[in-house]
Amino acid sequence: MGYNPQAEELNTAICSVNRVVYDLLSEKGKAAYFPKKGILGQAAEASNCRINATIGIALDDDGSTTCLKVIDDKINLTSDRAFKYAPSFGVPALRKIWQDMIRKKNPTLGDTTISLPVVSCALTHGIYIAAQMFADSSDTLISPDFFWGNYKLAINAATGAGVKHYPTFDGEGYNVVGLAETMSLAGVGKKVVILNFPNNPTGYTPTNEEAYALRDAFVAEAEKGSKIVVIIDDAYFGLVFRDGVYEESLFSLLATAHKNILAIKIDGATKEDYVWGFRTGFVTYGIQGGTAEMYTALEAKTAAVVRATISNAPNPSQQLLLDAYSSSVYETQKKEKYNLLKRRFDMVDTILSSHPEYAECFKPLPYNSGYFMCVEPDVEINAEELRVLLVNKYSVGLIHTEGLIRVAFSSTPTHLLPEVFEAIYQACLELKQ
Ligand SMILES: Cc1ncc(COP(=O)(O)O)c(C=O)c1O
């Protein structure tokens, strides 16, 4: 089946800059196009008409956006900003400010040409979009064995792609060799990889050396001729709590690494700016030699998947964030919340170092960042039984995942953290008897 001529146009724009990016696209990605004609195009052409009867929203007789006062009274935004649709690509000023923020937070990028972020309905949707565009059922996703469980739905179940895991850690450090070996297992070809730092569930981010080693591993595979798309899930970006840990996104290193490596940055306000229910995320592309023309085509395909799935992301959230990012107090307030999480992180360190007896029952996995840390119970203890005992007898709720117990210190008051670890210890002792 041939593609729609508008999809062909985008494919040609991509191929003319870098054929690898086209080859990496899934069948759905190749077929995707953002309709320039149709309702959206016709509405755009009519936008300056004296009478514009194109738009599927309601306007009052004076031309203002129709709204219910009972809702409007509670929202401190003009009715245009609160109630109208946002574009499928996202609010233009927000896309621009987020791109500027990506550069500021990732100085290694310098003035490398990257795409304008396309707004998704938060990170889950961004991950889903990336998977739709770049993974076919014949592909195998490469992922560490400790990963956010929803990848199974948003990537594997949604595309039919398989998955190949490598052990996340090698001793106390990141298993860069494990990733490299897993990439080369199936020989030279297309590779779809997902990485998430700070990691959910472990709370680990690579050290500076590990981050560069990861970049080198990707480059070595690309040099062999493999074409690699790396989905970088930066949900917890910025929450690094130990010295020597890589503070930028891996996107900084991969966006310019090689003409065979396409980096897709999935990030957003959800966790970074403490607005979980706002549902504002971003999808941003970077590849060595990428041009504005090629990124425009990728953005159009991305917006096409947005249009197909949710039509557009919520406007009020985007408008509120735009105001926040333009505010002089944003950085200070954000730092205060970072400090709150850092105090919790430090408290976990203090608890573990002041209770050497805990090592009889569980050991912490490496952690240095994010919202979480994990402990691994002794082999004789079943992690699910431990979780259930903690809920029922100790009234402490924790997550069991892949044989680990995950502690969300982000949501536990600092003064209660000692009780959490003491409860884990006591429950472990009970199960050992
Ligand atoms: C690693 C990771 N990525 C993505 C998400 C999804 O974020 P959002 O709520 O923005 O969809 C989460 C949420 O828990 C997460 O832990």
CA of 278 to the centre of ligand 1 (A): 12
Rounded distance from Cα 362 to ligand 1 centre (Å): 27
Residue 90 CA to residue 77 CA, distance in Å, equals 17
| pLDDT reading at 176 higher than 70 | yes
| pLDDT range class, residue 39, cuts 50, 70, 90 | confident
Q: Is 54 within the bounds of a domain?
A: no
**CA 195 – CA 402 distance, rounded (Å):** 17
What pLDDT, on the 0 to 100 scale, is given for residue 276? 98
Give me the sign of the Cα torsion angle 365, 152, 247, 276: negative
How many structural domains is the chain composed of?
2
- Letter for the amino acid at 122? A
Give yes or no for residue 227 having a pLDDT over 70: yes
CA 293 to chain centre: 25
> Nearest Cα to 206, choosing from 163, 165, 164, 248?
248
Q: Which of 238, 333, 334, 316 is nearest to 279 (CA)?
A: 316
397 and 280 in a single domain? The answer is: no
> Can you tell me the mean pLDDT for 377-399?
97
Average pLDDT, the chain: 97
Ligand 1 mean position, distance from CA 343 (Å) = 23
- Residue 123 Cα to ligand 1 middle (Å): 6
Task: Find the residues whose C-beta lies inside 6 A of ligand 1.
Answer: 122-124, 148, 196, 200, 233, 235, 268, 270, 276, 281
Burial of 169 (0-12, 13-18, 19+ CB in 10 A): middle
Contact 142, 166 (CB under 8 A): yes
Minimum CA distance residue for ligand 1 atom 12 = 235
Pocket test for ligand 1, best of 123, 151, 250 (most atoms within 8 A of CB): 123
347/349 Cα distance (integer angstroms): 5
**Are 139 and 268 contained in the same domain?**
yes
Type of residue numbered 395: S
Say whether pTM exceeds 0.85: yes
Q: How many CB atoms lie within 10 A of CB 115?
A: 25
User: Both 312 and 334 in a single domain?
Assistant: no
Q: What are 325-370's pLDDT values in tens digits?
A: 999 999 999 999 999 999 999 999 999 999 999 999 999 999 999 9
Residues 406, 381, single domain; the answer is: yes
Final residue belonging to a domain, choices 307, 325, 343:
325
Q: Picking from 48-52, 262-266, 425-429, which range would have the lowest pLDDT averaged per residue? A: 48-52
Pocket test for ligand 1, best of 125, 128, 148 (most atoms within 8 A of CB): 148
Residue at 45 is within a domain = no
CA of 354 to the centre of ligand 1 (A): 32
Instruction: Give CA–CA dist 76/351, Å, rounded.
Output: 44
The torsion angle over the Cα atoms of residues 116, 24, 206 and 354, rounded to 10 degrees, is 100
Among 120, 121, 150, say which to mutate for ligand 1: greatest number of ligand atoms within 8 Å of CB: 150
Question: What is the chain's length?
Answer: 433
Mean pLDDT of all residues in 209-232:
98
What atom of ligand 1 comes closest to residue 127's alpha carbon? 4
Beta bridge partners of 193: 142, 230
Specify the CATH number for the domain of residue 388.
Answer: 3.90.1150.10
Do 22 and 141 share a domain, yes or no?
yes
* Domain termination site, one of 303, 325, 347: 325
Q: List CB contacts of 275: < 8 A, sequence separation 6 or more.
A: 269, 317, 321
313 and 340 fall within a common domain = no
Task: Report the share of the chain in percent with pLDDT over 90.
Answer: 97
- What confidence category does residue 1 fall into, taking pLDDT thresholds of 50, 70 and 90? low
**How many A from CA of 238 to the centre of ligand 1?**
15
**Phi and psi of 17, rounded to 5°?**
-100, -45
Q: What are φ and ψ of residue 142, in 5° steps?
A: -100, 125
Q: Are 233 and 245 in contact (CB under 8 A)?
A: no
| Same-domain check for residues 358 and 402 | yes
Share of the chain above pLDDT 70, in %: 100
* 237 pLDDT more than 90: yes
Is 294 found in the same domain as 276? yes
Measured by CA distance, the residue closest to atom 7 of ligand 1 is: 123
pLDDT in tens, 252-297: 999 999 999 999 999 999 999 999 999 999 999 999 999 999 999 9
Burial 63-90 (b: 16+ CB within 10 A, else e): eebebeeeeeeeeeeeeebbbbebbbbb
Q: Which residue out of 271, 273, 321, 372 has the highest number of ligand 1 atoms within 8 Å of its CB and is therefore the one to mutate? A: 271
The mean pLDDT value for 173-183 works out to: 98
Mean pLDDT of 172-185: 98
| d(CA 270, ligand 1 centre) in Å | 8
- pLDDT reported for residue 433: 86
Closest of 147, 141, 146, 159 to residue 29, by C-alpha:
159
- Distance (angstroms) between ligand 1 centre and the Cα of 235 equals 6
Q: Which domain holds residue 121?
A: 5-34+88-325
- Residue 155 CA to ligand 1 centre (angstroms): 13
Which CATH number do you get for residue 307?
3.40.640.10
Taking CA atoms only, the protein residue closest to ligand 1 atom 16 is 200
233 φ/ψ angles, rounded to the nearest 5 degrees? -90, 105
Q: Are residues 307 and 338 in the same domain?
A: no
Query: d(Cα 231, Cα 265) in Å, to the nearest integer?
Result: 6
